[in-house]
Structure 1
Amino acid sequence: MKRRDFLKAVAGSGLLIASNPGQAFAITRPPKNMPPEAVGMFYDSTICIGCKVCQHACKEFNNRPAEHTIRPPEMVDRVWDNPVDLSAKTLNIIKAYRHGTGAGKNNEVDGFAFIKRHCMHCVDPACVSACPVSALTKDPKNGVVSYNKDACIGCRYCQIACPFNIPKFEFDEPFPQIRKCQFCNHRFAEGKYSACCEFCPTGASIFGPAKDLLEEARKRLTLNPGDYYDYPVQTVNSNQRLKQKAAKYINYIYGEKEVGGTQYIMLSGVPFDKLGMPVLSESSDVALSEGIQHTLYKGMLAPVAVLGGLLFAVYRSTRNKE
């Protein structure tokens, strides 16, 4: 086959597909909704004290080792955990923001603040969509995005797909796995919940039904700076409360709308982009990509069109030679 004929065949196949653009490319599948019994987590940066008890609890209850990223002084053993970012050893991390003098907590200028990073448990998770073997799945009832090591083939597509850069691969293990927060779902059967929330001393991280967490976040946005408020500890509907003064909040709930919504939401006194959170659209990229893929391959439309064009080109080339 001549190069010119090949290009004509491919172009013709493309025109065939494009002849019905409403069916091929203008398809974005409907967005997914939060599962009716979805659980989640709510982090309030303004009352976080940066103690990192959540980090320790996460490692203890998920059997993750300490991570030594800073070389200790001579003759001092590496006995403390000091990760600088999420990794296969650190599934949950508290990071600090500091500006200027760093004198005022929750101040964008000359202040400091904390942010808690881990899996967002997206309503429409890109990692689940990208995984070719369903090693990552989203529970249809509680919405937790969990990982099955026995199904994983180590392709790491989930790492590339995640807009929050969450899944981490164990490059230093002989039988590596993907590691990420799973809301401590292995504790659910015991009537327990995420360890980071259970051991947070100030109520900065709380667990509970996703709809109740969102309601709690919206309620806090109505507070005036200096108002006293009874902040729930451990869980959103807990009877244990800590009366604290409310800080000035940024009027935005991060995670409520990002990429179609998540089950981990946050409030802060400092803009979230300053805290290292990505600025993302409200629509899910997965809805668009899956819509296009499922339309093109529905009934094998695209492959049949391309194959038909190539066969026709071969036929013409053979006929001309004869």
Structure 2
Amino acid sequence: MSKQEQEQEQDPQKTPLLTTAHLRSLTQADSLPAVVSVRNLSAVLLRAARDGWNRPLRPQPVFISAEIAFREPFDSASQTDKLGHDTIHYGNLSKALLDTVEFYFGPGATAAIDHEGKAEEGAGGWDAQLVLNQMWFDLTGTTLDGREEGDKGGRSFLGGSLSRIGLLSVTITLPKASLLGEGVGFTASAGYDEQGRMSARALSMEIKRLRVPTLIGLNPNEREAKQMLIVGVTIEEVNVRGDRYTRVEGTVVKALEESSFETLEALGTHLIDEVEKVFVNARDYTVKVRMEKPIAVPLAECPVVEVRRVVKDYYR
């Protein structure tokens, strides 16, 4: 029996944690007949998440996206041309997502976190995953790992609709949380069975498109000067509490600045080694590094190399 299975047996409420790709394959998310989604809703975080300099509780913008994939087609809505039980009003979905940010984490926030995941305001403990957890709770009545923490009166936005949903995914992106990249994204996804219970889930953190001058390449001219390298780092299957994205970015940038590698393959492996040091007490997680060399091939936008590693029972 694997460690994950042993933990599941010890805690029946703990839902299996997979990679996003595995979860989407398992739920056949990309083949489900009907999807409602919203992309990049704009809001402001005031009371949670650290900025690119690792400063807590600094105002910063946040983009929110959500995807709801249904197991059945929009039969009623398509036949009557009216919204019914077989769909979700995307305007109301947008309002629900924005209400969570405003109510708990925005400039006019008045509420306290009253379920698991609670952190002390002012101590820098209100991290990005807490925002995602609260958003998920307000949508579904459960925490990110599927535990029911008291959806008092069944007031969650999706309520009884979960039994019709094959996959739910929510992403928050902090475009100003990276000093040299295009932002940091956190995604929670989950599959649901016909009783509306979470069957499997995925969590990921992505540092998007870091741009760092790097000494990299085989050709003599590439050994003479640094060239711009664009690097993305994704960590899956691990709870990213404490806003460790600033540490990951700093680690990756330092490794790139000190690089003298000739191949992207060797550099990518080294970057993963360095990222693992940030997650030294974590286990059973996946790291992916994607590297682009924009000027390496004159007639191509860029060559791309990806390196992935699954870390199991990793303690150092």
User: Is TM > 0.5 for Structure 1 vs Structure 2?
Assistant: no
Larger radius of gyration: 1
Structure holding more strand per residue:
2
- Scaled by the length of structure 2, what TM-score is found? 0.23
> Greater relative contact order: 1 or 2 (C-alpha under 8 angstroms, separation 6 or more)?
1
- Scaled by the length of structure 1, what TM-score is found? 0.22
